Structure 1
Amino acid sequence: MISRLLAVQITRYCSTEIIRQNRSLKNLLNSTKRNKQNNSKNIKIMKKAKYLFPGDYMADPSVHVFEGKIYIYPSHDWESGVEENDNGDHFNMKDYHVFSMDDVETGEVTDNGVVLSVEDVPWAGRQLWDCDVAFKNGKYYMYFPMKDKNDIFRIGVAVSDRPYGPFVPEKHPMMGSYSIDPCVFEDEGKHYMYFGGIWGGQLQRYRNNKALECAILPEENEAAICPKIAVLQDDMLEFGEEPRDVKIVDQDGNELLHSNPHRFFEASWMHKHNGKYYFSYSTGDTHFLCYAIGDNPYGPFTYQGVILTPVVGWTTHHSIVEYKGKTWLFYHDAVPSGGKTWLRSMKVTELEYNEDGTFKTIEGLDD
């Protein structure tokens, strides 16, 4: 358990944490240009992306097919009045709604209302960031990151008999949990949680699952910080093992460096296609959705390319689901709010595979 003193220490930004946190626009544009050149034959110009709930600000959609329907579990953005910063204090997320839909083509969704609020959670501090939901033995388990009373992110669990909630939270966060962006993936009867995010997600404040006295980001020529994975216990309420690193490597088997514009930042997602495991993620400050492919849930995963180029708004967070014979990419941007990065709106577009199992890259600004 982290002491209150240590909690105060690690919530402060150290000089090593703020170094290099703003990549130059020139580097970002050059990276985008190179990506277009390298993938010119595989670019999909996105013309049919749909906003799913433009009347309110919902982001970070986690999407699953339950009981034959699409269920969407997003975070809920509220105006905060807080100045934008790298710690994420301007994100004011107080509750979760659940949305459902029968036909992705129409973009029509049903809002099933609030299913969990900050006030419902005994250990709550603030900020209900992106969640995910898994099903086992007749129960639906919601996994949510939230800051505790010491402003440290933990991952909690809430349970429901129905995919549309409401969800009842456990009294305590998962033992040994930290950081953000839980994604739960079922494979051959086991459930695996992927999680982690740097900067505001606090992953840089840990090494080997232990809290550091001061957050440390790697040097440019060092390996990037890895997302984490752990199999869950049979009861779905705790880790069944110590979380491990998820290695993302290049074609030569070398880990992606911290300076690589396609390295991991946040927003883990896992899906399986033709026997291969697709680990997709956001690169954060370079604003791509990227993916890597492996042979098992633990990886390593070999980097393949960009799914989605930058959109309006700082963050990019997504999920990928197959439904009625098509593959769909759910994500968000900040166009309806006029580019306010903390007020985002859900979108969906079709995602297409190439014959070799790679994705056609989607141009995020061409809709």
Structure 2
Amino acid sequence: MTTARFALLAAAAFSLPTAACSQAPSGNTAAPTQTATPAAGDAAPAANVRYLSQPLVKEIYTADPSAHVFNGRIYVYPSHDIDAGIPDDDLGNQYAMRDYRVLSMDRIGGPVTIHDVALDVKDVPWASKQMWAPDAAYKNGTYFLYFPVKDKQGIFRIGVATSKSPTGPFKADPQPMQGTYSMDPAVFTDADGTSYLYVGGIWGGQLQNWATGTYNKDAGVTDLKQDDKPALMPRIARLDAGMKQIAEPLKEVQILDEQGKPVLGGDHDRRFFEASWVFKRGNTYYFTYSTGDTHKIAYATGTSPYGPFTYRGVVLNPVQGWTNHHSIVQVGDQWHLFYHDTQLSGKNHLRNVKTAPLTFNADGTIQTVEPLLK
């Protein structure tokens, strides 16, 4: 797909007008430890666009939020968007992020702190570029930051870094996690203390290159182009006790339709694209993910962290912008959805993180969140 077609798809999906903006976004009421101001002159949506939620911070651009509650405080581990002057394309080269900044708050709606750089690509010995969506976990006094970044050969691998503080700085291991590939790491820890790593993303996430379990640089530009066959599925592996390596080879996570058959590659409203996020409510495991070019956050449920998961519906309808990436966390008695859009910039690669309450029906289904108000 050409850059022009990419732009047309984004415009068609959201139909949101933009207008020139001569000022950078205004500051948040938080007291950040360090801030970076986006460049002036970004496009911004017209004044008549109404949003369900407002950005958590405005001093920097953030995306792909992974939210956690550690010791009663909410921590969000997002991507840190920057403008590298790279045109939009289907493989995401415009997303040229170089470091991570952690956000934290005492409560939803309270002041948000932007912490100092948690990890920089220059401090990861094996990495080259594109520090995309991360996740975090905690065990036995150590915080773990899981991150995707391209190695010196341009292949996405999953790295791990550790710190005694949830906000870093994190020290990266000298090599990527053995046996890992693609992007969007998400760690789920079950009630018995066992942790699982989920990874995967097609198109720029390179999952199509690993369809056989071995990297093939010629295996499709964006996906396998097999609409009548089972879609590419995300991957899962149990983490070992040290949380730095997988204890088994990555294997497919099956997403099934209502008839118990694998969702097909041509079913773009339901097939997996990227952004795995797993949580457990009662005895039910929820596998949530982005459908990519149809711009939805969908969900499926199962009885095991390995799946299979049966498609149930949509968590979040399309936001303003091309990407849709999220996390879901319980804070007290309320579940919250964290997501991003492009309210501040109007540009697909300069996003801002938001949050909204998530409501479950009595049967465990999720009420779809509408990010844009009519």
What range describes the TM-score normalised by the shorter chain of this pair?
A: 0.7 to 0.9
Question: Would you say how many aligned residue pairs link Structure 1 and Structure 2?
Answer: 330
Q: For residues 173 and 344 of structure 1, what CA distance do their matches in structure 2 show?
A: 27
If each structure's helix is expressed as a fraction of its own residues, which one has the higher value? 1
Aligned to 1:156: 159
Matched, 1:253 2:256: no
Structure 2: which 5+ residue stretches go unaligned?
14-49
Residue 76 (str. 1) matches residue 89 (str. 2): no
Shift of 1:289: 0.3
Structure 2 residue aligned with 1:172 = 175
Aligned position for 1:302: 310
1:131 aligns with: 134
Q: Which residue of 2 aligns with 1:224?
A: 231
Match of 2:98 among 72, 82, 94: 94
After the TM superposition, which residues 313-328 of structure 1 pair with which residues of structure 2 at under 5 Å, given as runs? 313-328=321-336
Is 1:186 equivalent to 2:189 in the alignment? yes
Aligned residues of 2:209 and 2:215 also touching (Cα < 8 A): yes
AA partner of residue 254 (structure 2): K
* In structure 2, C-alpha distance between the alignment counterparts of 1:246 and 1:201, rounded to whole Å: 17
Cα distance, 1:108 vs. partner? 2.2
Q: Is the CA contact (8 Å cut-off) linking 1:218 and 1:224 kept in structure 2? A: no
The alignment yields a C-alpha RMSD, in angstroms, of: 2.0
Structure-1 separation of matches of 2:200 and 2:127: 19
Letter in 2 for 1:249: L
- Cα deviation for residue 364 of structure 1 reads 2.4
1:83 Cα offset (Å): 0.9
Whichever residue aligns with residue 253 of structure 1, its letter is: G
Whether 1:358 aligns to 2:365 is: yes
Misfit runs of 4+, over 3 Å? 21-25
For residue 122 of structure 1, the aligned residue among 125, 130, 138 is 125
The two structures have a TM-score, normalised by structure 1, of: 0.86
Please give the alpha-carbon distance, in whole angstroms, between the structure 2 residues aligned to 1:134 and 1:144.
Answer: 12
- Aligned to 1:285, what secondary structure does the other structure show? helix
Alignment correspondent of 1:279: 287
Indicate conservation of the 8 Å contact 2:196/2:237, yes or no.
yes
Alpha-carbon contact 2:51-2:372 (below 8 Å) kept: no
CA drift at 1:48 = 4.6
Deviations 1:239-286 (Å, cap 9, x if unpaired)? 100111000001110011111121100000000001100000000111
Q: Give the corresponding residue for 2:44.
A: none
Distance across 1 between alignment mates of 2:242 and 2:270: 36
Shift of 1:219: 1.2
Q: What secondary structure, in the 3-state scheme, does the structure 2 residue paired with 1:219 have?
A: coil
Query: TM-score, with normalisation over the residues of structure 2?
Result: 0.85
- Residue 119 of structure 1 aligns to a residue whose secondary structure is helix
Q: Deviations over 1:35-63 (max 9, x none)?
A: xxxxxxxxxxx975231012210000001
Choose 321-330 or 201-210, whichever is displaced more. Answer: 201-210
AA in 2 matched with 1:240:
A
Task: Name the CA distance, whole Å, in 2 between partners of 1:259 and 1:112.
Answer: 42
Contact 1:23/1:286, CA 8 A, preserved across alignment? no
User: Is the Cα–Cα contact under 8 Å of residues 52 and 372 in structure 2 kept in the other structure?
Assistant: no
